[in-house]
């Protein structure tokens, strides 16, 4: 059980600020979007240059999100460091682990000058890799309403009005601790939604051995990163980008849910389908669209677009009939089409071995303007280091 935090005085204007920030959090549904919003809002509250979030999973703290204005200035919301597989033990040997175990915020004035008798140590690995200098740190626990551990929020390098790194204050520690306590409710809700989506995906996975959890995680992640760069090119407002990404990831993960309507003999066939079998397999897009007909939300609409249209082709030769062409194909479906094909080709399937990476990339290039939206192909190659990082994070 996490110890209960002691009450403290909050300035009225700060309390109003907390409430306004929390209201924004409670409108975010996707876990990744929520972590991005939570981290950016808390950093803004204390003028922190960087920060990260660790979520508790399988008795460790899993590195789940990172932001750094100094390092990622040109690519603020989309960076390969988000897809790290790093973990930290839930014990007192690390800063994050210490906070997780004790359930209390911790202030570090200088990460490189910790007291010799401190039970914890600072891991310099990220600083060494990135050429960044971590100095001041504020770490607070993230918990449920029942005080069960969800994870740890870490803010790095508070800055004064001149951009100089300064220590975090005791008031900031309590202020952010209170904000994080209430933010835990939003994280708990997002985790619950994610669990519901995973249960929906399990229906498909039971029927289709190729529709694995890593595959759908990768397709969802590829899709939001491709969209992110597409939106950056058009200077789409950040709030609009965040809102779209919020629903795109889970909608993309459900792109093949219609396969629950396909016979097992086809889904589990060890080899290519004949013409008749392929025609039957194509009906999974209309089966999938049935789940989301008569949409009542942006998420329903996006899921309908994707399930029905992710096998349409830029040149108008896709399915289902009547075939759509070019920009008539919804953006969401054009993105998922590219993400899904890439992952299918580079991964092992019952009917094929994985293609070599260069062969896959050559295929993507050659299908530019025929199968795929030309601009999205260009974007895919622009962010390929992020695509590769995603693939490594969710290896089959």
pLDDT attached to residue 2: 42
Segments making up each domain of the chain, as ranges = 12-191, 208-393
In contact, 56 and 149? CB cutoff 8 Å: yes
Q: What is the secondary structure of 291-334 as a DSSP string?
A: TTSS--SHHHHHHHHHHHHTT--TTS--SSSSPP-GGGS-HHHH
Question: What CATH code would you report for 12-191?
Answer: 3.30.450.40
pLDDT attached to residue 173: 93
Residue with structure tokens 């980008």? 241
pLDDT attached to residue 323: 96
Quote the tokens at residue 209. 């051995």
**pLDDT per residue as tens, the chain (396 positions):** 344 444 455 566 666 676 677 777 777 778 888 888 899 999 999 999 999 999 999 899 998 888 888 887 654 444 566 677 789 999 999 999 999 999 999 999 999 999 999 999 999 988 888 789 999 999 999 998 888 999 999 999 999 999 999 999 999 998 898 889 888 888 988 888 888 888 877 777 776 666 678 899 999 999 999 999 999 999 999 888 988 998 999 999 999 999 888 888 888 787 788 999 999 999 999 999 999 988 888 889 999 999 999 999 999 999 999 999 999 999 999 999 999 999 999 998 766 789 999 999 999 999 999 999 999 999 999 999 999 999 998 886
Nearest 5°: phi and psi at 291?
Answer: -65, -25
Catalytically active residues, by annotation: 259
Residue with structure tokens 């972590």? 35
Nearest to 217, CA basis, from 363, 381, 340: 340
In contact, 28 and 192? CB cutoff 8 Å: no
pLDDT attached to residue 14: 67
Torsion angle (degrees, nearest 10) of CA 131, 31, 372, 379: -20
238-253 vs 170-207: helix crossing angle, rounded to 10:
30
Coil, strand or helix at 242: helix
Nearest to 189, CA basis, from 5, 22, 307: 22
Question: What is the fold, at CATH topology level, of the domain defined by 208-393?
Answer: Hypothetical protein af1432 (1.10.3210)
DSSP 8-class letter at 121: B
The whole-model pTM stands at 0.78
pLDDT attached to residue 202: 79
pLDDT attached to residue 3: 42
Nearest to 340, CA basis, from 309, 383, 295, 298: 309
pLDDT attached to residue 242: 85
Q: d(Cα 289, Cα 302) in Å, to the nearest integer?
A: 10
């Amino acid at each position: 059980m996490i110890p209960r935090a002691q009450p403290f005085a909050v300035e009225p204007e700060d309390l109003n600020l907390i409430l306004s920030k929390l209201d924004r959090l409670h409108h975010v549904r996707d876990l990744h979007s929520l972590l991005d919003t939570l981290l950016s809002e808390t950093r803004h509250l204390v003028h922190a240059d960087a920060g990260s979030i660790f979520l508790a999973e399988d008795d460790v703290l899993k590195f789940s999100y990172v932001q750094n204005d100094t390092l990622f200035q040109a690519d603020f919301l989309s960076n390969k460091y988000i897809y790290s597989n790093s973990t930290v033990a839930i014990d007192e040997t690390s800063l994050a682990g210490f906070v997780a175990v004790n359930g209390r915020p911790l202030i570090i004035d200088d990460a490189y000058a910790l007291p010799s008798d401190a039970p914890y140590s600072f891991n310099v690995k990220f600083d060494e890799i990135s050429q960044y200098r971590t100095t001041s740190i504020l770490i607070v626990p993230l918990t449920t309403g029942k005080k069960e551990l969800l994870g740890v929020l870490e803010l790095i390098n508070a800055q004064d009005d001149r951009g100089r790194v300064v220590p975090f204050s005791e008031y900031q520690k309590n202020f952010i601790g209170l904000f994080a306590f209430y933010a835990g409710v939003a994280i708990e809700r997002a985790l619950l939604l994610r669990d519901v989506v995973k249960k929906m995906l399990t229906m498909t996975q039971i029927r289709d051995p190729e529709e694995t959890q890593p595959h759908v995680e990768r397709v969802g992640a590829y899709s939001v990163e491709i969209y992110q760069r597409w939106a950056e090119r058009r200077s789409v407002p950040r709030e609009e980008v965040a809102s779209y990404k919020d629903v795109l990831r889970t909608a993309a993960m459900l792109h093949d849910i219609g396969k629950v309507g396909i016979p097992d003999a086809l889904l589990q066939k060890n080899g290519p389908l004949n013409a008749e079998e392929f025609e039957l397999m194509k009906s999974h897009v209309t089966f999938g669209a049935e789940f989301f007909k008569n949409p009542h939300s942006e998420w329903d609409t996006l899921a309908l677009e994707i399930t029905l249209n992710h096998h349409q082709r830029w040149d108008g030769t896709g399915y289902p009939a009547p075939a759509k062409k070019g920009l008539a194909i919804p953006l969401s479906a054009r993105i998922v089409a590219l993400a899904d094909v890439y992952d299918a080709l580079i991964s092992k399937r019952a009917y094929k071995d994985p293609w070599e990476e260069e062969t896959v990339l050559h295929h993507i290039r050659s299908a530019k303007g025929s199968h795929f939206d030309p601009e999205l192909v260009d974007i895919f190659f622009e962010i390929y280091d992020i695509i590769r990082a995603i693939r490594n994070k969710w290896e089959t």
